[in-house]
Amino acid sequence: MHPPLTPGIVGVACVPHAPQFLSQPDTEDLEQVRRVRLSMEQAGQRLRALQPDCIIVLANDHGDHFVTHSVPAFCLHAAASADGMHKHRGEWTLDPSMGYRLVRAMEEESFDLAYTLSAKLPTAFTIPYEFMGFGRDVPMTPIFVNAYIPPQPSALRCHAFGQALARAVSRMGRRALLIASGGLSHYPGTEHYSHPDVDTDRQLYEQMRAGNLTGLLALDEQALDRSGNLELRAPLIAAGAMGNRKPFMATFEPSWHHTYSVIAWDLTEDRQPEALIYPELSPQRVPLVEALYRLRSDPDAARRYLADPAAWCDGYALNPDERAALIEMNPERLRDEFSIHALLTSGAATQLRILRERA
């Protein structure tokens, strides 16, 4: 019998949704469009293998629905289906098993998630869904994020929403994929449209590729606006949902009007933290740590050690390798092989050197 699958958000993708992907006008580099679509297909293939039972898509309205009557920061589509738009017109299947339950679960997390039963589904939702290999009949849970109509939710609020969303999905016992849909810099409808801020985009991309997702929180409302990264609010939600971790794939494709980036994470993978220059004090090496601390901080103890290193080491419950290393007193070996904090190894060695010089 296989163990039960762990609930929660199991995979994440941050992907673009440029309408040119569908219309493919003469202004576009069609080979670039092909590469971006291929990257999205590859991300979708890997993420589908994680056995999710629901798919949440975060995307923004472009003035199609939420402008004057109501402009919610976050709005879930709770219907069983919705009409698509433009070249994706027609029915798309939604996931009513998530809708109201997720609204209630987010309320328990102190987020009053608005909902709609009638909004059409913009291509910001359906382009990533189709390109990643999910058909119209695969139930989607769409969440609109207000990216363009001020005042928008801040980076901190989006990140907090993502953290709450991850907790809510886990409590509901669901295994979710999270698709954060939005380009990096672009300025639709403005004189800046043909001048994306590629330099800022590359900095953001490198942060995300390195797994430093909390670094995105440094962007305030003005920075998001000036750099054309208003749609980064969806990836900010994704960052909150998963925390700092490195993706399994990342691509960066600047065009004349957008910067396209496809970045995807498998959250079921064990995170292997990078070795720290100053490591944690090992619970298995407490006697060795205490001995080195004593040599570093107590000149009398250091003098007794210099008089007879082997006898001094008898006062500590060291294993044979630790004892031999302490008698040898090679600070680099103690630091690197035994993962002892560098302030202790170098400090003990310095104390002993000074006492030898004074003798």
pLDDT of 168 > 70? The answer is yes
pLDDT at residue number 311: 96
Q: H or E segment at 224?
A: helix 221-226
- When pLDDT is averaged across residues 278-298 and rounded to a whole number, the result is 94
Residues 67-106: tens digit of each pLDDT? 998 999 999 999 999 999 999 999 999 999 999 999 999 9
* Residue, of 202 and 272, whose pLDDT is higher: 202
pLDDT of 5 > 90? The answer is no
pLDDT at residue number 322: 95
pLDDT at residue number 30: 92
For the chain, the distance separating the N- and C-terminal CA atoms, rounded to the nearest angstrom, is 70
Q: Which of 353, 349, 284 is nearest to 322 (CA)?
A: 284
pLDDT at residue number 2: 53
Residues 230-264: tens digit of each pLDDT? 999 999 999 999 999 999 999 999 999 999 999 99
Rg, Å, the chain Cα set: 27
Residues 59, 147: contact at Cβ < 8 Å?
Answer: no
Q: Are strands 8-15 and 175-181 parallel, antiparallel or unpaired?
A: parallel
Q: Which of 29-33, 156-160, 189-193 has the highest mean pLDDT?
A: 156-160
- When pLDDT is averaged across residues 296-323 and rounded to a whole number, the result is 96
Q: How confident is the model at residue 3 (pLDDT cuts 50, 70, 90)?
A: low
Q: 281: Cβ–Cβ under 8 A, 6 or more apart, which residues?
A: 289, 341
Residues 24-64: tens digit of each pLDDT? 888 999 999 999 999 999 999 999 999 999 999 999 998 88
- Give me the domains of the chain, ranges plus CATH numbers: 8-266 (3.40.830.10), 283-358 (no CATH)
pLDDT at residue number 172: 98
pLDDT at residue number 207: 97
Mean pLDDT of the chain: 95
Q: H or E segment at 270?
A: none
Residues 57, 128: contact at Cβ < 8 Å?
Answer: yes
Q: How confident is the model at residue 137 (pLDDT cuts 50, 70, 90)?
A: very high
Measured between alpha carbons, how far is residue 69 from residues 63, 64, 213, 228 in Å? Answer: 12, 12, 34, 25
Query: Angle CA(336)–CA(337)–CA(338) in degrees, nearest 5?
Result: 100
pLDDT of 1 > 60? The answer is no
* Residue, of 272 and 181, whose pLDDT is higher: 181
Q: 309: Cβ–Cβ under 8 A, 6 or more apart, which residues?
A: 326, 327, 329
